[in-house]
Each structure stands twice: as C-alpha cells, then as structure tokens.
Amino acid sequence: MVTPFAADGSVDYRLAERLAVHLVEQGNDAIVVCGTTGESPTLTWEEKYRLFQIVGDAIAPQAKLIAGTGSNSTRQAAEATNKVVKLGVSGTLQVVPYYNKPPQDGLYQHFVAIAQAAPELPMMLYNVPGRTSQELAPETVARLAKIDNIVAIKDASGKLDAVSQMRTLTPADFAIYAGDDALCLPMLAIGSSGVVSVASHLVSRPLKAMLEAFFAGKVAEARDWHLRLLPLFKALFCTTNPIPVKAALQMQGWAVGSPRPPLCELSPDLRDRLTKVLQDLDLL
C-alpha cells in the first residue's frame, strides 16, 4: 500500500486508514504496509510503527497486515520485527539487505537472526535485486524455507527460471508470490500462490478474478484478464514505483500527496500516457 502524505509532507494516517479499508473492501486478502510502494526508505521507525497500528486496527479481522520491518542492518530489522509482535501484525516482509551486498551466507544469517527475534511471527522474504544490488539465490531460499516461521517469498527478480528452481527446491507449503504484476500469471503457472501487487490499488477485483480463474482451471479466462490488464501493469512501472500509482490514485480522487524526496512527481508526458491507460480501462 502507498503511504499517503499531507501537503506538508507528514504522513496522513487518517487517509491511510481509509485507503486500507477500501483495499480490503475491494477484495485484497492482506495489506503490506511500509514496503517499497509505501516509500519505506523515507519513513521513520516511529511513522512505521504508527502506520502498522492504525492500519492493522482498521482492517482487522477482515484482512491481514504484513509489516515491512526489513533493513540493511540485521540488528535494526530484528529489533523492529520483535517490536511489532505486540502490535498484532499477521507477519513481516523482509527485504534483502540493500547497499551492503552480503554474500549468500550473510543473507542466510541475516534472515535467520530476524526469524529468531520473533519466532511466533510468520516472515515473507523479499527478493528484489533491481533495488538491492544483491539477489537471494534459490538454494539460499531453500535453506531458509526450513526455518519454521519463514513461510513465503515475494520474488521481484523477473527471472522465471530462478523462480522455477526455487519452486523445485522448496516444500509445497512454502508460498511464492509474484512481486511484479506483469509476471503474476506466468508465475502462477510455475507454482506461485498469488501476487504482492501495486496494480491492486486500482484493479483489485479484476486481479482477483484472474487468480480465481487460474486456480479453477480456466487458464484461457485468466490469460484474457492478464492481457487486458497488461497495459496498466506496464504504465505503473513507466518510472520508479510508487510515482505512477500515486499519480493514478490522485486522478481517482485519493489525495495521497506527492512522493517524498528524492522521489518526485510524475512528468507530464508520462502522466498523459498513464491517463490514457486508465481511461481505456474505465478507471477514471
């Protein structure tokens, strides 16, 4: 979920609450708060904890809240993860440490330390090498999947062969989620469970229809949904996420504010492109 900001750049907690409730009403099973789309790098820990509390209270018990408590500091991530246990979150999202560029053994030790800090709390790994400069190898994922509370991964590597290998190496109850809307359907075909979505801000029901069609064996129907939504998937990544999705929400009347610096507003030419896609899908 995006993090709404007021005109002065502060977090708009009331709007965050309203948006989360709306997303659940549209069919989302869980809300990720303070992930990439939520601009986690520019949020303070105090802002994050307050968002976890407010959003969690707003959507319980209808949907789960997954708290983005990852960090490139193992100690900081472990402390934050331990702290959110008391907030009643359903699980945490743990990004591969960025900038440090640890080797695979370092990544393994990082995630194990966080898992041990809150053994009662399910953890979703987050592999996004385009942002972290380091990739979580399928073999490392397989090792981590043996830890009781490491139960899932959001994979935004864009590498279907690596995801296929990951699916081969991990137990069936280890959930793999697409981290890219455009790869949701292809990843379903190789054993993923769903998608941690950006586009669901705008097309929750069609996305859910695509998933339900696939799992019901109606692959052609799922493909038709995928192809219809593909222009939106691409438009929402025409520049750095969450710049386009925040612009799209503003066009729909959600006053989510501008991204925090160093992110910026969507350029006029890209706004025109996004507007056309939204109009074509009757989203405006």
Q: Which residues are catalytic?
A: 126, 154
Question: What phi and psi, each to the nearest 5 degrees, are found at residue 253?
Answer: 100, 5
Give the C-alpha separation, 79 to 88, whole Å: 15
Consecutive H or E run containing 24: helix 13-25
For the chain, how are helix, strand and coil distributed in percent, rounded to 5? 50, 10, 40
Q: Which residues pair with 5 in a beta bridge?
A: 11
- Burial (CB < 10 A; 0-12, 13-18, 19+), residue 99, is exposed
Nearest to 250 by CA among 231, 261, 233, 265: 265
Do residues 139 and 104 make contact, with C-beta atoms less than 8 angstroms apart? Answer: yes
Do residues 30 and 65 make contact, with C-beta atoms less than 8 angstroms apart? Answer: yes
- Burial (CB < 10 A; 0-12, 13-18, 19+), residue 31, is buried
Q: What token pair was written down for 200?
A: 């669901």
Do residues 109 and 75 make contact, with C-beta atoms less than 8 angstroms apart? Answer: no
Whole-number Cα distances in Å, 183 to 15, 54, 85, 139, 227: 30, 31, 32, 22, 11
